Structure 1
Amino acid sequence: MRVVIAEDDALLREGLAALLRGEGIHVVAVTDTADDLGDLVSAHDADLSVVDVRMPPTWTDEGLRSAIEIRRSRPDHPVLVLSAHVEPASAGELLADGAGSVGYLLKERVAAVEDFIRAVHRVASGHTVLDPEVARILMQRRRSPLAALTDRERDVLELLAQGDRNSEIAAKLFVSEAAISKHIRNLFDKLGLHIDDAGHRRVLAVLTYLREK
Structure 2
Amino acid sequence: MTGTRFGSRPTVAVLDYGSGNTHSAVRALQRAGADAELTADADTVMNADGLVVPGVGAFQSVMEALQATGATRWIGRRVAGGRPVLGICVGHQILFDAGVEHGVRTEGMAEWPGVVEALPAPIVPHMGWNTVRPPAGSDLFRGIEDERFYFVHSYGVLDWTFDQTHQAMNPPRVTWSHHGADFIAAVENGPLSATQFHPEKSGDAGMQLLTNWLGTL
* Fold equivalence (TM over 0.5): no
Query: Which of structures 1 and 2 has the larger relative contact order (alpha carbons within 8 angstroms, sep 6+)?
Result: 2
Q: Structure 2 length as normaliser, TM-score?
A: 0.41
Q: Give 1 or 2 for the bigger CA radius of gyration.
A: 1
Q: Which structure has the highest strand share of the two?
A: 2
Q: Structure 1 length as normaliser, TM-score?
A: 0.42
